[in-house]
Structure formats: structure tokens, C-alpha cells
Structure 1
Amino acid sequence: MKKSYLLLAASALILSACDGERRQAGNETTAEETLAQQKETITEIADDYLRALAKVHPLYLVGTGLAADYGVSNADFEDISPAASAAYQAAEDQLLARVNAIDPDKIEDRNDWVLHQSLKEALEASIEMRVCKTPLWSLNHMSGWQNSLGQVIPLQPVSTEEERADALERWAKLPAYLAHDRANLEAGLAQGYSAPKRVVARVIKQLDIILAAPPAQSPFIGFAKNVTDAPEFTEAAEKLVTEELNPAIASYRAFLNDRYMPAARDALAVTVLPDGDACYEAFLRMFHGAQIGSEATFENGKKAVAANMEGLLDRGEEVFGTRDLTEILARVKDAPGNRFESEEELIRFTRDQVDHTRDKSEPFFTALPKQQMIVEPYPDYLRGTGQSSRYEPMEAAKGPATYRINTDDWTEQTRGEAMVVVIHEGWPGHHLQLATFAEKGDLHPAMKLLGSSAAVEGWARYAEALAEEAGIYHDVYGEITRRAWPSRGMVGDPGLHAYGWTNEETAAYFIETGRFNEESAAVLLDRMAVIPGQLTGYDTGGLEIFALRREAEERLGDRFDIRAFHNHVLEVGMAPISVIRANVEAWIEEEAAK
């Protein structure tokens, strides 16, 4: 922006008062009328964006509670056919043209400007991503249909007979979806696109577990398990599994094993695919919410890693009397009381930290969101398949959000590491950020889907450091551990995809942090293979928030209020980091002028 939207808003009020004195009634448009028209136009574009998305990805809107408002029925399902994709791309082009027709420097309302800039960035990034042709190599053990669809199951309403009929209709569409996915993957092989063999093996393992489960335990009819007063509905759901869903999944699994696996690529780097270099840059732009690029990401990451290592060595010398990285990390790993005796102890320990982290976070914010967060392990069909711990939001009216904890590697997990992750996923990390945004209500609903990874993961990375300031860590082990890992994704991810690092070199770079062994490093590399660039978003965003805080502290001095700073970072939700920067800098200017 050329001007702060706060100053623009003030100017609008002054001009409105002057115009009211000199204009002739009915001959001129008032500033208030112009503002209302502007808001209506931007809102219409955002509404049309959600309607376009609802036609191809209705379950995205189900997951954010927007389905009913944008025409999604309880029976609608994803459409990944080439025709649907082409129609959506045409809609994107039209939406971007409408967005670009609005001069952002003339937008006077802050929320409208946030929405406009977020729409512009999301649409431009999505259009840039077309070079990747991701539907042709969509096989994914992290967020593929076999695990992402399961997150919608708890949101499927089944209270009435009509809703139960809709549920059966919706999930009966899974076989057709798999047929489209298979056709897309076949087309990908013909054009030189495929997922890595290692990823294919992980997906096959997930499907095997699904197929081995009794029909009543299929994740795709989880909506029926709590219905106790309609045996005919339960019977129909189980029949759907045995007669339609499992046969379709088994056929898909056979295709992966017999046809796809032999033709799948060996390399993990996305740059081996057609237009792979441009594709990787597009992934970076999508996850950053900004045009930063692999070179700047790589160089900025190396500088940040060096600074983190210096801080780690200083802390290690203070605690252990040595600056030898290997020795420091080994002593942290083997410290008495820093390990778990069982998987159950890890889960119990993590659950016990939720209230502790919340209470300790409270002084750093003017208010905390009311929604609670629970800790749950992954369901059986996803265990041992390379999942990462993650945060699963939930509409507050429907219950608590979930920190889905990965316990596969519990024997190697330390208490310090567990503290870092629960802080990242919960308080003051993802849960505080996303639940706070959900309670605001003054931003357009589209903002629930327009977030950038740099904003979301960047806040959680910042929260790991803030937790030390808040006294959340119980001992030095978490404090040392958290310094070993940050910013390495900014180096290792482009190292693998853009700078020709081998799998072994990339794994070694992560293993030296002490957080990974060979097995967990392999899990991380497979994650990097299916979501290239995502790992760089954590510290790209985190470094920006740290930089904004330093800027605010330097400009405001004794008047710096950490709670106000956090408010202005969080109040624009998951907007691109450029929007967060503009919002915080406007606040700094306003405060400095007082």
C-alpha cells in the first residue's frame, strides 16, 4: 500500500464531511457510498470464489463450516475430472481479472484491503501452480484422499432420515472419484509425471490397513458408528463398504501395485518432472504467499541456521560446558528423565501440557480464544505410514480442535521435543492463532481458505520461541532442542529440489540436528517429495514475524506492548505475510505518532 489504510479511512471521513457541505443533493456520490460500493464489489468476488470452489471441492467448505452458505449439499463430493478442473481454472482467470480491476491503494476499509490482497495472492499463486499439473501425480501419503477425506467424516450430519440418506449418497460417490483419480494418474504416466516409488509404497500400506479392517470400522462410514437408533442405516453403511467401497479401493490398490509402482519415479526431487524447476518455484510462491524464490530462501535459511547454531552452542556451553554440537545434542537426548517409557506415557505427558501451555501463554495476549484443544493419536490405518503431527481445526460450535500426535517414533522422542511440538500445534501456536481468528467474525469467510503456510507455520515457529519467553518449557532440554531445527527446512528443501542434493546429503543435514534418525529423516524426505516447498514456509514466516517485532520494539521503545503486537499479527488471520507486515507497520506508525 502507498498509504496506511488507517490514514485512508480518516481521510475518507474528512472528505465526506466537506462534500456534505458543498455538493448538491443527488449529483455526487458520497465517500460513504463509494466505500459501500467498494465493499460490495470485493465481497461479491470473494463470494463467487467460494461458489467456484464449492463446485469442485465442496468438502473444503464442509471442513470450514461454509458448506451450507455456498450451496454445498450433504451429498456433494469432490470432482477431480479434467472437465471440472478446466471449468475451475476458467473461473479463476475471471476472478483474478475482477480483482485486478480494483486499485488496492484506493481501498479504504482495512478488512476489504486484507480480503482483496489475499484473493489476489491466492489466485495468482494457484494459476502459477498450473505448470505443475498436480492432478497427474496426486498420489500422496500425507494428504491424499485416503486420509484427508476421513477428516470430513465427523462433520457428516446423520441426525435425520434425510441426512442419513445424504450420507450414504455422498460416500457412494467414492468409487467414481477413485476412477477419476486413476484416470488422472494414468494420464500422468503417459506424460512423464508420477509420484516417487517410496510414496506409492506408503499409500499402498495405508490402503492395506483400510481393507483389512472390519466393514463397521471403515473410516469412510465413521459417521454411522455413533448412530444407535437406526439399525437399518448402520446395515446400509456396512453394505456400502462391502459391496462398493472396498471393491473400488481394492481395485485402486491393485492398479497402484501392478501398474503404477513399476512406472513411478525413483527420485524425490520435483525438478525431475516436466517443467520441474518452474513447478518448484510455484510451490514456493504458494506456500510463502509471496514471490521470494528458491535462491533467496536458500541463502536466508543458511544465515538463520548459522545464527540458531550459535545460540544453541552458547546455551550448550552454559549448561554442559562444551560447544561441541554432537556432544550437546547427545547429552540432551540421553539426559535422565528426558525420555518416555511407553507410547501411552508420551500421549499422557502431551495431554498434561495443554492446560499448562495455555495458562503460561495468557499474559502475552489481551484475550485467549475460548475453544479447547484435545490430543489424540492417529487412527490405526494411518499409523506407521509417515504422518507428521498436525493440528486439525474444528468449528467451535461442534467441539474442540485436535492436536493429532504422531507416536510412531515414541522410543526416540524426548520430553523436550514433545514440548516443542505441543507448543507449536497448540498454545501459543496453531490453536491459539486459528481459534482466535475463528472467533473474530469481521473478516470475510473466504479468509478461512486463503491462508498462506508462511503465515500459519510462521506463527507457530515464532510461538516456539515465545514459549521460552513465557516460561513454558520445563527444562533446558526443550530450549536447546528448539534451536537445532528452525530454518533448516529453508535450506534442506531447496537443497533437495533445486540444488541437486542427494537423498543421503539431505537426510544427513537433518539428522545432525539430533531430532532425526535415519528412519524419521526418510519420513521427512518423503513428505518433502509430495509437498515440495512447504517446509520452507515455517521459517520464512517466522523470520518475518521476528523482524516485525524487532522493528516495533526499536520504533516504540518503552511504549512497545507485546500484547498489542500479537493482536496486530493475529487479527488478519492467515493472510499473506505482506498483509501481516502492512497491518503491523500501520499500527507502529500510529503508535509512533502519538
Structure 2
Amino acid sequence: MKKKIILTTALGLALTASAIAGTPASGTADQRFKAIYNTEWKWRVAQNLAADEDNRDTVRAVLPRADAKTQQQRLAYWQGVMKQLDTLDPSALSPAERVDHDVYRAQIAAFIEALRFKEYEQPVNADSAFWTNVTYTPRRTFKTAADYHNFIRQMGELPRYFEEETANMRAGLARGFTPPKVTLTGRDASLASVAEAKAPEDTIFYQPFKSMPASIPAAEQAALRAQAAQTIRTAVQPAYAAVLQFFRTEYVPHARESLAAESLPDGKAYYQSKIVEYTTTHLTAEQIHEIGLSEMAKIRTEMQQTMKDAGFTGDLPAFLHFLRTDPRFYAKTPQELLMHAAWVAKKFDAKAERYFGYLPRRRFAIVPVPDDQAPYYTAGRGGPGVYLVNTYNLPARALYSLPALTLHESAPGHAFQMPVAMEQKGVPPFRRAYISAFGEGWALYSERLGSEMGIYETPYETFGMLSYQAWRAARLVVDTGIHAKGWTREQAQAYMHENTALAEHEIETEVDRYISWPGQALSYYLGEMAIMAARKKAEAALGARFDIRAFHDTVLQLGSVPLPVLEARIDRFIAEGGKSPYPQTL
């Protein structure tokens, strides 16, 4: 068993750049690099920004500090880490450590940029906020009494944590660094669901206490329930009420009216930093905008052919209207939608071994998006152990798009790729982090792969996949249009309406998400393009030796990496003759 990390937060804060300077200057390049990242990782765990490998699945008793002073200390620390990395010659590293280096350097650079631009002063967007992020813990499965005790202690920390985040929001408000006001409408509902609940038992925070493991004695269960209810009543609900009051009376009324990231302080540089973070490339906004327009034209051609396959004789706007309004394409009940999603997931299971040599051990559940988040949530979201399906507003949840959504969010997308990454042995803990360009690119590639696998059974389902491809290509146009070209919200919505089959409700929530989360929407299509290009290169170079399972296993074994690292790995895959990283599975 690995040695437990027992550094305290105070000690973590003492590990400043001067402490990093103590990493060995002698030894091999690999040894020097490992000393840098091992020291930084221990500090990161001490800051409660990550969990050590032995405690990754346990419930933590504390929340990280979020105050401005601590944030600036973190900036100084990571800048010290970067200076140490600058002393290394990457070419002197072993091949495996070179991959680790490229991933780690990009990760530290993103941390530095986020803190340099004081992103912590805007801990809310149209998609999520600090007060919704803390509700993921009570939605987990608690396994031990220690998990329950730790969670009660964590809930006791909410007032302090919320006060720090509120102070950050006030600082952002003072300098005009807020989400656009238009994207904040209705986002107080998730605050109100806790603050205004009639009883602690009615809040999401009490959920783990409703059904507890039989291994915990009944008397202890009763005591934990009473303690939880008391903590929710005296700490959690007042903390939510205070933020709710601030959000409604101070934050939203004075949030900025402008939409563009480039209108923020040092906005042009800020938006470019988000492009680098979310695409792992140095493309400009103008270049990405043009790529989006070009790719959209290609997808439109495919759409036209699919309309013919469906026997439709009208034009694209008429076909989109038909898809948005014909009752046959929409579930009548939430249960029906969930059952359709389960059926698609099982269709993949029947074909998985023909396309993947390595299959993750972890399964996933299909569950509805919680009611308090559903109105402003995406159509679905997946990750280790879960595929969330949004059953709110069923006329906006087209069944013809559900196969593509399911492949993206469940398997072979997020609920497949992430567990494969987590199951890799001997990988430094920082490699567990999620890189959007890779993860979202893979998930979008999974949608395309559905055609090859025979998942789409009708032209309508194929069109649903193409509409989703167009949706992600449209993001390249819309995100850069809003944040670099002065597009209005209405202009962005019109572009999505004209080029995808998304329902109006979904278009509105998606555009608001792009407005308040600059750059993230660029990850998907650029990531998919990189994976598709790597596959075509491997197919051309290897010819008959190309094995799709070996290619997919090689991509997924990487975990989550910048796109240039993926490209370099596939070059090595080709040079090695297309060998699988798991030869025993093929």
C-alpha cells in the first residue's frame, strides 16, 4: 500500500516556490522531473485540490480554501514549478516521461493562466457554480461510517467556503469580471432548492442518509441522521440563503451586459488563453471560426444525402421543422426516454469487442438529471459510473438524436473512456486530470463511430448524428463569433437554429453556456478532427496491418492528453507496426 499523504493545509501553504527550488539539480532528467511533479502533487493534495491515490474514492472532510490570498499563493507556487520545468530538456527524458512532461507542463500552464486572470473571481456560469459543484458529493454512494462522518464535517465547512466564494464574486463584480447578466436568469433555482427547503430532509444534502449501509449499526445510523439534519439546518441552509440573497439583490443586477470574453479586462489575451486551454493548440479565434464554417459546409452535404435516404423532398429548413414537430420523434414519458437510452447502450455492448480489445471493468448507471438542475442542464452528461439523461421538457429531447447522445456520454464515450484511463497502472496521479480537447474529441468521435458500428438504424437517427456533428462544428463558429467577433445572443441562436436539428430550448441553454464559458465549446470538434486525422494516417501507413481495436486501445491508453501528444503517440504506433498496447487482448 502506498504511504498515506498526511501533509496539513498549513504545511501545504508553506511549500512555496522556494521549497520547489529544493528539488534535485543532479541525477537523470527522469529523476529530476519526477521530483518536481511528486513534490507538487503532495502540495496539491495538501491544498485539497486533489485526492491522493489511496483516498480517491472516499468522502473528504474538508473543502479547499478559495480566498484571494490563498489563490495568489497558489499562483506563486505554480509559477515556481514552471521555472523548474524550464530547467529540463524534454529530449533528455525517456519516451514515457516525455509524454508525462508534455501533459504536466500543459496542466501547470493552464493553472497559472487561470489564476493570472483571476478566474476564481467568477465561480459561476450558465452551466454550473460552486454551490452546485458541492452537491455532487451527496449524490455519490457512501460506503462506510467514515464517509458519513466526513460528509457531515464537510457540510460544516460550507459557510466558510461560501463566504470566500462570495467575496471572490464581489471582487469580480467590482472590475466587471462576471458572466453576462442574460445567462444568469433562473440560475438561482438551485440555490433556492436548498435555502428554501421546508426541512433538512428535503434537501439534496440529506440524500445519503435516507438509505445507509447495513454494516453501520442502527444506533449509529440514527445518530448520524440527527447530526446531519442539525448541520444542514444550522450551516448548509443559512449558507445557501446568504448566497441566494447576494445573487438576487447584488450580483445579477450588476452583472455585465456585454457578451464577449474579449470585452473583459485584458479580454483578448484572456480569450486566447482559454483557446489554448480547451483546444491544446495555438490556433487563433479567426482560424477556428473559418474551420467551423468549412466543416459545416461538409456536414450540410451529408445532411442533404440523408434527407434523400429518408425520402424527404423538401429543403433543409422544412426537414428541420418536421423533425422538431412530429410527435413520433419524442418520448411521452421520462421512463420511455430512459428506456430508449438503455437500449442504445446495450446495442453498443453487443458490438464492443469488435472495436476494442480492452474493455473497462467499471459499469455505468443511467439516471435522470436532478430536478433542480434539469431546466438549465445539457441533454445528457456522462462519466465514471453514470450516464445522466435530461428528462425535463420532453419535447426538446428528440429520440432520433438519442443514439448519438448515448454513444457520446456513455459507451464508448465518457463513461467508457474515463474508466479506461483510471484503470491504467503506473500512471502519475496528475495524469488522471481531464483534458477537454481529448475527452470531448473522443466522445464526438464515438458518435461518428456509431455509423461504422451499425448503431443508427434509420436515416433519422443518422441525421441525428449529423445534426450533433453540425452542433459541434457550429460551436466553433458561435463561440468565436460571440467572444471575438461581436455576435449577439440572437445571432448565435439563429445560426444554431439554421444548421442543427436541436430544439429551441436546447439551443437557448447551449448558447448561454457558450456565452458564459468561453472556449470550452471549441474542444469537441477540434479534438475529433485530430483523432480522425490520426486514424486516417495510421490506416494509410499500415494498410492491411491496421487493426481498429489496436488503434482505439492505443488512443484510450493515453488517458487524457494534449492533442500534439496524441499525434506523436500515433506516429509511434505506426512506426511499431500498429501493435496494440494490450497484445494479450487481441
**Which interval holds the TM-score relative to the shorter structure?**
0.7 to 0.9
Aligned to 2:406: 422
1-structure distance, mates of 2:47, 2:277: 19
Letter in 1 for 2:537: E
Aligned to 1:263: 254
Query: Is the Cα contact below 8 Å between 1:342 and 1:411 reproduced in 2?
Result: no
Superposition pairs for residues 105-504 of structure 1, below 5 Å? 105-110=91-96, 112-154=97-139, 159-160=144-145, 164-213=148-197, 214-227=199-212, 229=219, 230-320=221-311, 322=313, 324-333=315-324, 337-393=328-384, 401-449=385-433, 451-486=434-469, 487-504=473-490
Provide, for residues 176-206 of structure 1, a one-character-per-residue CA deviation record: whole Å limited to 9, x for no partner.
1111111111111222222222333332111
Letter in 2 for 1:127: I
Provide, for residues 397-433 of structure 1, a one-character-per-residue CA deviation record: whole Å limited to 9, x for no partner.
xxxx101112223213221111110010112211221
Letter in 2 for 1:576: P
Query: Is the Cα contact below 8 Å between 1:206 and 1:385 reproduced in 2?
Result: no
Superposition pairs for residues 25-36 of structure 1, below 5 Å? none
Query: Is the Cα contact below 8 Å between 2:379 and 2:506 reproduced in 1?
Result: no
Aligned to 1:590: 576
Displacement of 1:242 after TM fit?
A: 1.2
Query: Is the Cα contact below 8 Å between 1:361 and 1:467 reproduced in 2?
Result: no
Change (3 A) 1:86 1:130: closer
Change (3 A) 1:51 1:268: farther
Provide, for residues 539-589 of structure 1, a one-character-per-residue CA deviation record: whole Å limited to 9, x for no partner.
010001111111111222222211111122111111111111100011112
Query: Is the Cα contact below 8 Å between 1:74 and 1:167 reproduced in 2?
Result: yes
Letter in 2 for 1:152: T
Aligned to 2:36: 45
2-structure distance, mates of 1:69, 1:142: 25
Change (3 A) 1:221 1:102: farther
Letter in 2 for 1:473: Y
Displacement of 1:167 after TM fit?
A: 2.7
Query: Is the Cα contact below 8 Å between 2:188 and 2:244 reproduced in 1?
Result: yes
Letter in 2 for 1:198: V
2-structure distance, mates of 1:188, 1:332: 43
Change (3 A) 1:321 1:258: closer
Displacement of 1:520 after TM fit?
A: 2.1
Aligned-partner SS, 1:480? helix
- Give the total of aligned pairs: 545
Displacement of 1:492 after TM fit?
A: 1.0
Aligned-partner SS, 1:403? strand
Letter in 1 for 2:68: P
Letter in 2 for 1:509: Y
Question: What CA RMSD, in Å, does the superposition of the two structures yield over aligned residues?
Answer: 2.5
Which residue, 528, 542, 546 being the options, matches 1:560?
A: 546
Report the TM-score when normalising by structure 1: 0.86
1-structure distance, mates of 2:317, 2:499: 9
Change (3 A) 1:326 1:318: same
Displacement of 1:518 after TM fit?
A: 3.3
Displacement of 1:301 after TM fit?
A: 1.5
Please identify, of 354-363 and 314-323, the stretch whose mean Cα deviation from structure 2 is larger: 314-323
Please identify, of 167-176 and 511-520, the stretch whose mean Cα deviation from structure 2 is larger: 511-520
2-structure distance, mates of 1:358, 1:36: 48
Query: Is the Cα contact below 8 Å between 1:131 and 1:278 reproduced in 2?
Result: no
Please identify, of 76-85 and 49-58, the stretch whose mean Cα deviation from structure 2 is larger: 49-58
Query: Is the Cα contact below 8 Å between 1:308 and 1:483 reproduced in 2?
Result: yes
Displacement of 1:306 after TM fit?
A: 1.0
Displacement of 1:246 after TM fit?
A: 0.7
Displacement of 1:332 after TM fit?
A: 4.2
Aligned-partner SS, 1:504? helix
Query: Is the Cα contact below 8 Å between 2:382 and 2:388 reproduced in 1?
Result: yes
Letter in 2 for 1:191: R
Which residue, 44, 64, 68 being the options, matches 2:55?
A: 68
Aligned to 1:540: 526
Letter in 1 for 2:362: Q
Change (3 A) 1:287 1:567: same
2-structure distance, mates of 1:344, 1:267: 40
Please identify, of 537-546 and 330-339, the stretch whose mean Cα deviation from structure 2 is larger: 330-339
2-structure distance, mates of 1:547, 1:299: 18
Aligned to 2:21: none
Report the TM-score when normalising by structure 2: 0.87
Aligned to 1:575: 561
Letter in 2 for 1:120: R
Aligned to 1:13: none
Query: Is the Cα contact below 8 Å between 2:476 and 2:521 reproduced in 1?
Result: yes
Change (3 A) 1:439 1:36: farther
Query: Is the Cα contact below 8 Å between 2:176 and 2:256 reproduced in 1?
Result: no
Query: Is the Cα contact below 8 Å between 1:118 and 1:575 reproduced in 2?
Result: yes
Provide, for residues 14-60 of structure 1, a one-character-per-residue CA deviation record: whole Å limited to 9, x for no partner.
xxxxxxxxxxxxxxxxxxxx9994443333333233333334444x4
Letter in 2 for 1:580: L
Query: Is the Cα contact below 8 Å between 1:360 and 1:472 reproduced in 2?
Result: no
Letter in 2 for 1:578: P
Please identify, of 475-484 and 42-51, the stretch whose mean Cα deviation from structure 2 is larger: 42-51
Which residue, 488, 493, 496 being the options, matches 1:510?
A: 496
Please identify, of 215-224 and 417-426, the stretch whose mean Cα deviation from structure 2 is larger: 215-224
Letter in 1 for 2:129: G
Change (3 A) 1:55 1:387: farther
Change (3 A) 1:201 1:334: closer
Letter in 2 for 1:547: A
1-structure distance, mates of 2:60, 2:578: 51
Aligned-partner SS, 2:367? strand
Q: Which has the higher contact order (CA 8 A, sep 6+)?
A: 1
2-structure distance, mates of 1:442, 1:158: 26
Change (3 A) 1:222 1:41: farther
Aligned-partner SS, 1:391? strand
Q: Quick check: 1:520 aligned with 2:496?
A: no
Provide, for residues 285-332 of structure 1, a one-character-per-residue CA deviation record: whole Å limited to 9, x for no partner.
111122223122111111111111111112222332547222333444
Letter in 1 for 2:359: L
Query: Is the Cα contact below 8 Å between 1:43 and 1:444 reproduced in 2?
Result: no
2-structure distance, mates of 1:332, 1:259: 42
Displacement of 1:333 after TM fit?
A: 4.4
Change (3 A) 1:360 1:327: farther
Q: Which runs of 5+ in 1 are unaligned?
A: 1-33, 394-400
Letter in 2 for 1:445: P
Displacement of 1:497 after TM fit?
A: 0.8
